[in-house]
Structure 1
Amino acid sequence: MNYRYGEYLKLAREIADGIGRIVSENAGNMREMGKKAFIGAYGAPTSRIDAFAEERALEIIKESGMELNVLTEERGIINRSAAGACETLILDPIDGTTNCIAGIPFYAVSVAFAKGDIGGKLSDVFFGYVKNLPANEEYIAAKGEGARLLTGGREIQILPENAASAAESGAKPIRASVYLGSFAEPPEFLRKIRYLRSMGSASLEMCLVAKGALDFYYFHSAPEHRLRIVDIAASTLIARESGGVVLGENGKELEMAIDLKDRKNLVAARNKKALAILV
């Protein structure tokens, strides 16, 4: 990966390590950590563990000396354009908070960097980083340079651009993760899937698509519960750089505004051929 992305990877890792320590230090007190700390940006309740994790991440960003605008899940937009910031860091400190609080080892830190000021869009993201904290796995992508998977800091796999999926090769069973919100009508294609999961961390589930562990990830919910850009900014780049596709409900490449108001349903598939099962 190009050396010029080193400073972004270094900061993303420092954020993930800092949040990892917060989670470890409070592992025996998750019942308290799950309680509401405050009402976050746009009215969503924020748990104590989310608040602590985000506070530590913001401290690390400040200590880095990098001039960045920041969009976080809990506090919303931190605009530093007046100070010269021309890039935006998009952060979900803990994606899969419910899992984290319950002791289910499937949650992640998601960090993405986008060119331009606040007010940009998903396609402006040029670097993405998702860390599965319990598994110590890092998914990393740079725009135009592919995606990588590392475990314990050691590269174990370059995510293959042309890996065949079960769906396209005809192999069985087809593997998918599906989230259906309340009152969502189950789609017909569910009948074709033998191994169906819903794991509670959109960023990690999309990374499993990039890895080839899942054929696709399907998310469909009511407007107020749809995914926001903080959930999937990094994992969308990772999926696309591994040869996958990420589409919106309209069947076109997913695009979102860099803010917390825009919410979308989506499907992420291993490649275009894997989408055939959805038809």
Structure 2
Amino acid sequence: MLDSSNDLLETVKQAAYEAGALLREGYSLKGRIAFEQKGASDFVSYYDTAAENIIIDCINSAFPDIAFLGEESGLTPTDSDYTVIIDPLDGTSNFLHGVPHFSVSIAVTKGDELIIGVVYQPLLDEMLWAGQGTGTFLNDQQLTMPDARPLTEMLVSTCLPYHAKGDCSTALNQLAALMPQVAGIRSPGSAALEIAYTSLGRFDAFWSQGAKLDFWDIAAGIVIAREAGYTVTDLTGEPYPAHWNSLIAAHPERHDQLLACLTSG
């Protein structure tokens, strides 16, 4: 039985640190990492699997009855109300190509409710984390939401579809609608990190619809952005993120404006 959500949060943070240490080690071998192809443009390396095992072992040792949903290992169900959602290496293609933009992403649900989110960038040693009602932190510093920028000054992040994975026409239509309105659009390649970066103001918003994002890609970032004060929804009003096929995270003063722009076609 889980006695303290705070203890669970601290354990999740520790698991992210331990997995991140392995990824730092692996990144130093860039260009020499063996990998397999799971599907269209979908790769897995030793480091994806090993990092996920580290996370599961770390959390399971403290909370042996908890359930897990991992990108590599799938669902490990139990009778627990709590499920740990793991993307051990969000940005595998970046990692394999030596692009220094990837993260460890861990979330926790209680029933259908997201209650914990941790996203760790091991190369920068930056951990963005939040628990339900805690606010959002960068390492040990609590974040405050910046003022909303005008649309014309906003830097917006997205995930784009690619080779046989996603809806390219939808993504292109939304890009065409948004490009004339904002200061810039970026697609760096780690959705968990980019959603979490809205809490820092590094990106003013994140959206994606054409790309196929799984629950483990977005769950931790949703908690972090929401606890920082941002509005996070899908583009249709579906209330539960596990069923979303789109996402927008933005300052509450800009959310509806961006949503209207993206759905105007």
Answer yes or no: same fold by TM over 0.5: yes
Mapped to 2, the partners of 1:237 and 1:21 lie a distance apart of: 23
One of 128, 134, 144 as aligned partner of 1:160: 144
Partner of 2:82: 87
User: Are positions 1:212 and 2:210 aligned together?
Assistant: no
The amino acid of 2:149's aligned partner reads A
The amino acid of 1:208's aligned partner reads Y
Partner of 1:186: 173
Secondary structure of the structure 2 residue equivalent to 1:186: helix
Mapped to 2, the partners of 1:45 and 1:98 lie a distance apart of: 7
Secondary structure of the structure 1 residue equivalent to 2:129: strand
TM-score of the superposition, structure 1-length normalised? 0.79
The amino acid of 1:175's aligned partner reads L
Secondary structure of the structure 2 residue equivalent to 1:192: coil
| 1:1-279 alignment runs, 5 A limit | 4-36=4-36, 39=38, 46-81=44-79, 85-116=80-111, 121=112, 124-150=113-139, 155-156=140-141, 158-161=142-145, 163-167=146-150, 173-181=153-161, 182-183=168-169, 184-187=171-174, 188-221=177-210, 225-250=211-236, 252=237, 254-257=239-242, 262=243, 264-279=245-260
Quick check: 1:245–1:253 contact (8 Å CA) kept in 2? Answer: no
* Structure 1 portions without partners, runs of 5+: none
Quick check: 1:147–1:242 contact (8 Å CA) kept in 2? Answer: yes
The CA deviation at 1:65 is: 4.0
Residue 200 and residue 102 in structure 1: after superposition, are their counterparts in 2 closer, same or farther (change >3 A)?
same
Q: Which of 268-277 and 106-115 deviates more?
A: 268-277
Mapped to 1, the partners of 2:128 and 2:33 lie a distance apart of: 27
TM-score of the superposition, structure 2-length normalised? 0.83
Q: How many residues align?
A: 247
For residues 117-160 of structure 1, the C-alpha deviation after alignment (integer angstroms, 9 at most, x for no partner) is xxxx3xx111111111111111111212321122xxxx23x222
The amino acid of 2:215's aligned partner reads I
The amino acid of 1:256's aligned partner reads P
The CA deviation at 1:4 is: 4.2
For residues 172-202 of structure 1, the C-alpha deviation after alignment (integer angstroms, 9 at most, x for no partner) is 5221112332333332122112222111111
Secondary structure of the structure 2 residue equivalent to 1:89: strand
The CA deviation at 1:66 is: 3.7
For residues 28-81 of structure 1, the C-alpha deviation after alignment (integer angstroms, 9 at most, x for no partner) is 434453511x759xxx65332211211222222332244210000111100122
Structure 1 vs Structure 2 CA RMSD: 2.4
The CA deviation at 1:92 is: 0.8
Quick check: 2:87–2:105 contact (8 Å CA) kept in 1? Answer: yes
The CA deviation at 1:237 is: 1.1
Runs of 4+ in 1 over 4 A off after TM superposition: none
Residue 133 and residue 79 in structure 1: after superposition, are their counterparts in 2 closer, same or farther (change >3 A)?
same
